[in-house]
A = this chain, B = another copy of it.
C-alpha cells in the first residue's frame, strides 16, 4: 500500500464512520425527543445494532491496520493533521483489537440484560437482584484492564480510557486536596445554618421556554446551527459540526432545573460548534476527552451561570416572567442559586458538594478493580462514605448505591471525569480572567469574549491536543487541583461564613 493509497483508504473509512455516526445520533435524538413506539423497539434495535456493528466492521478490518502502519512508517512525510489522524486511529484500532471479539459481544449482551434489571432493582431497592450482574461486569472490567494494559494500578487502564492521561496518582492527589479543604468547609457551613431562601413555586412551562430563548442567546449557543429538544434526561448531541443539538426538561415546580440544564448543555454545544471545521475529515473533530467536555459545560453552568453578575442579569428576566421573584434582590438570588448542603443524589448535588459525590464512587471503583473490596460490600461502604464525606446516610438503596446507571451500563472509570472536568474548567477560567473581563462580559449580556478565549484555547483544537496539552498550552502549567479547591473555598466562604 502506498502512502497516498493509505490516506485515501482512511479517508473513505472516516467518511463511512461519519455517516454511520450521524445516523446513530439522529436515531437516538429521535427516540429521546419523540419516544419510540413500544412495538417498534425490536426492529429499531436490530437496525441500530446493525449500524453500530457496521461502524465497527468498517473500522476494524485488515486494510485499516495496513493503512495505519503504512502511514506510521512514513510519519515525517505527513502533515500535522495527518499525523494526528494516524495517532488517533492507531490508538482506537489497537484498543478495539485488544479485546477478543467474542468477549465484546458477550459483554454487550450482558449490559443490555443488566439495564432493565437495574431499573427494577432500584425501584424495589433490592441490591441482590443486580449484584450478580455487577459481579460479572466487574470481572469484565478487570479483564479490560489487562487487555488495555497499565502501569502501577489496574484502574489506570479504565481511567485513561475516558480521560487520556488520568491515573490513580493524579486522582488521589486531587481528591485528597478536596477532602482536606471541602469536607471541613461543608461542616462549617452546616453548623452556621445560614441557608438561603428557597425558590419554590409554580413556574409556567411556556414562560420557562421564553427564558430558554433568552438564555441560549445570552450564553452564545448558535441556534442557527442546532436545535433545542425536550427529553427526560437532558443531553447534547452532534449531528454534524453545524447541527449540534441540546435538550432540556421543564419542571413546573422547579425553574432552576431547566435554567441550569440549558446552560450546561450550551457549554457542551458551544464546544462542539466551535471545533475547527477542517478537523472532521481527519477524525479529529471530537472532544479531547470527557473531562475537557465537562470542563466546558461546568464552566458555563457554574462559574458563569452561578456567578453574582449572572444573578444580576437573570433576575430581571425572572421577574418579567414569574411573580414569585417580585420581592427578590440580586443577593438573595445569588445565594439561592448557590445552595451548599449535604445531599444524597449526585445529579441533584450543588456546586460545593458535587465532587464529593464523585469521590465516593472513585474510591469504591478503585477498590473494586484492585480487589480490595467486592460487589457485596458496596451498599454498606457506599453509605459509610457518604456519611464520612458528606455527612448524610442514605435511608434506602434508591438514594444510595443504586442511584446511578453507570455500573449496570458497564461504565467504570467514567465518574472521575465529572469532577476532574470541573477542576479543568476552574484552572482555565483562572488564566482566562487575566486577559478577559469576565464579569463585564456577563453584565453586557454578551459572553463572546469568553467564548472566543475558550475557542482559541480549547474548542478549536478538537482532538488534536490531549487534555494535558490543552491545560499546559492554555494555562502554562499542568493540571493543578488547587485552583478548583481555592475557588470553591473562596466562593462558599464568602457566601456562607
Which A positions have Cβ atoms within 8 angstroms of B? 15-16, 18-20, 22-23, 26-27, 29-30, 34, 36-40, 43-44, 46-48, 50-51, 54, 224-227, 239-243, 280
**Cross-chain contact of A40 among B18, B46, B239 (Cβ < 8 A):** B239
In the complex formed, the residue of B with least CB distance to A280 is B43
A40 contacts across to B, CB distance below 8 A: 225, 239-243
Cβ contact within 8 Å between A43 and B242: yes
Interface SS of chain A: helix
A26 contacts across to B, CB distance below 8 A: 23, 26-27, 30
Cβ contact within 8 Å between A239 and B54: no
A27 contacts across to B, CB distance below 8 A: 22-23, 26
**Cross-chain contact of A226 among B23, B37, B38, B241 (Cβ < 8 A):** B37
Question: Within the assembled complex, what's the spacing in Å between the Cα atoms of A227 and B30?
Answer: 11
CB within 8 Å for A47 and B22 given contacts A40-B239, A224-B37, A243-B36: yes
Cβ contact within 8 Å between A241 and B43: yes
**Cross-chain contact of A47 among B34, B36, B240 (Cβ < 8 A):** B240
Cβ contact within 8 Å between A16 and B50: yes
* Minimum CB–CB distance for A23 against chain B, Å: 4
A36 contacts across to B, CB distance below 8 A: 243
A240 contacts across to B, CB distance below 8 A: 40, 43-44, 47
Question: Within the assembled complex, what's the spacing in Å between the Cα atoms of A43 and B21?
Answer: 12
**What are 24 contact pairs spanning A and B, CB under 8 A?**
A18-B43, A18-B50, A19-B46, A19-B48, A20-B51, A22-B43, A23-B27, A26-B27, A30-B30, A34-B227, A37-B227, A37-B242, A37-B243, A39-B224, A39-B225, A39-B242, A40-B240, A40-B241, A40-B242, A43-B240, A43-B241, A43-B280, A44-B239, A44-B243
